[in-house]
Structure 1
Amino acid sequence: MSTRDGRAWFPLPVRWTLAVSLALLTSTACGSQAHEADPTAGRATAGPAGLGPAPGGAGCPAGGGAVPDDVNRAGTDDLDGDGLADELWLAHDEGLRLLGVSTAGGARFSVVLNQWDEGAQEQRAGDRVSALAGRLGDGSAVILVNLGRSAALYSVVNCYIVATTDTENRPWLFDLGYEGTGDGVGCVGDASGRILVSYRAEYDSAKQTYTVSRRTVTLDRTGKRAGAGRSEVLGRGLAEGSAEVRRAQSVSCGNNAEISEPVF
């Protein structure tokens, strides 16, 4: 389903051509030795080499750059596939915003989030980003970065954080009510069947109620590409402030905590 100008109904694969540029390379590595970024990850992250296996595997090898002192962090799902809970963090280092993961096994990897780029058009001066992460039922490990007006989708792939794109290689953004194409995003269901969805809460001014819909978002087997799946109506005639409407207007992933970046 599309709008009259042909844009996707929701979520919104961003129409800007820059990578929200939430994804520039941070080139730290195990110890002080530089590590070349995964060439298929689009200059996305830095971290120890190795594959992120399926849950119950060895996980990412220990190592990577030190976590900056100016950091906010929270525990989250297993993101590297070793079956142990990991940690998501947002930090500042030498004027850069960093989004990072520290695993239970001692791996550390991060990506630079630019403050002033085309992705910043989604923000107002002084806005702080926030993030939360989770593992989906298909094994994909996703990170949602809330920019205020949209949420950017990242994945943990091969012990890197990569900016997930659509099939045309544009960064995948979920509209949070500013483009009229969506209102929220969430990871729903239990761990074994959890799926990623975008929400739309359409307001009927005559009835003063909402119709809430959701559309599944699926990742390919690499975790680097996303596509919109089927949509379904969850409820009609819903009151403002109802649980269904609040959920549709939020960014969430199970019960995992959302963290905000430190104050500049």
Structure 2
Amino acid sequence: MKSTTTRIDARDRLILALDVPSPDEAEQLLSCVGDLVTFVKVGLELYAAAGPEMVRRLIARGKRVFLDLKFLDIEETVRRATARVAAMGVEMLTVHANRKALTAAVQGRGGAPLRLLAVTVLTNFDGNDLREMGIQRTVEDLVIARAALAAEVGCDGVVASGEEPAVIRRKVGSRLLIVTPGVRPTGTSRDDHARATTPAQAISAGADYVVVGRPIRDAADPAEAAATILAEMQTAFDARGADQTGPCEA
């Protein structure tokens, strides 16, 4: 696909994590932020509470949906489950960066526009956690290896902390989308994220999307919190320059 140059609108790149235990609370949070948020993440908690019907409700009201279920199972299971997700009209789906699982997800997606994201290293992990798992690589080395695997098998992007986009771009190239969770505005708690960054830091490093949950969900005024984050994101995107979109055009 021929590259084009476009200005990034931060509202297209902020993903609000609907990390709440019920559909009613999800709807309440969406009502609070209004039109500021167009892209939402449904993770394990909300999916366990409300399942595919919640996803369909969000899509029906015009929201883009990132389904963060981190698939990892035998190939047949991942292939068939990914096909079901693709049929729902979800925009992004996470799969753990295991060769067999990623390959099965690519097969299950078929020709649907679903974008597959390989989970590199969870943002609450550090080097000690990897060593406890028997992995003798640094976090950075493992992220790079898993990003390279994602590109090799035909995934569209990766999930990585805000510390890694620059090295992914340098070592793997610019084709992959990079979605960054664990984003915390300056002055807020890092919570359980070992590798948290601010929205500006993640975007300046090369992230395409940032996922924000608790700093908006738990704010006294979620709309104000979202607006502040969007303003920081827009400044960072403008400073980074126009988007050079290629195979993973937003």
Whether these two folds match at TM > 0.5 is no
Superposition TM-score tier, normalisation by shorter sequence: under 0.3
Larger radius of gyration: 1
Q: Which has the higher contact order (CA 8 A, sep 6+)?
A: 2
